[in-house]
Amino acid sequence: MGFWKSLFVNSDATSSPKSTQSSSVLAEVQSDDGSTRIFFSTDRDIDLYELEELCNAVGWARRPIRKVKKAIQHSFLVVTMWEQRGSRRRLIGFSRATSDHAFNATIWDVVVHPEFQGQGLGKALMKQLVKKLRSEDISNVTLFADPQVVDFYRGLGFMADPEGIKGMFWYPD
């Protein structure tokens, strides 16, 4: 697919790619010729097998569908990214955040399909997620970054170990 030259991000897209999702479309990114568009959604009604396929494409370990469903249900926010060509849409990105709905949020499972990487779409997806969290008055937006994506998140305004705060994981004995 081509590079998205006329990338624009807005928070009140006027046209809806799918009637049932009209309330949850966050923004759109359009290509020059307008034949294909990328849109974001907060709709949680996701085909979990399509999501599994997306996660497989980036080499993530397979997880039980039942648990993925539960995790999506109990996430504070889910932002997905879709490619639409005509009436056909395809899940090309996913991200979600847990939160206490008041102070803190933690971002998990950020994924962009390999075919769509390197074009600023992951950045656009993350911006949507953070923007939405901030609009909900969440002041502390956090995540745990694998070494190879630390710089990606740095470029988005995330700081590693600010004031010496360390991310820690519990490991069973």
Q: Residues interacting with a copy of itself, by CB under 8 A?
A: 63, 67-68, 70-76, 96, 98-104, 106, 108, 130, 134, 140-147, 150, 153-154, 156-173
Closer by beta carbon to a copy of itself, 16 or else 106: 106
Residue 95 phi/psi, 5-degree rounding, is: -160, 155
99, 137 Cβ separation under 8 angstroms: no
Closer by beta carbon to a copy of itself, 91 or else 138: 138
Residues designated as active site: 153
Closer by beta carbon to a copy of itself, 37 or else 127: 127
CA–CA distance, 115 with 57 (Å, rounded to integer): 9
Closer by beta carbon to a copy of itself, 116 or else 153: 153
| Rounded least distance, CB 151 to a copy of itself, Å | 10
| Rounded least distance, CB 142 to a copy of itself, Å | 5
CA–CA distance, 142 with 102 (Å, rounded to integer): 14
CA–CA distance, 27 with 38 (Å, rounded to integer): 9
Contacts of 154 (CB under 8 A, 6+ apart): 160
| Rounded least distance, CB 138 to a copy of itself, Å | 10
Query: Residue 161 is which amino acid?
Result: D
| Rounded least distance, CB 141 to a copy of itself, Å | 4
- In sequence order, what DSSP letters do the residues of 104-136 get, joined into one string? EEEEEEEEE-GGGTTSSHHHHHHHHHHHHHHHT
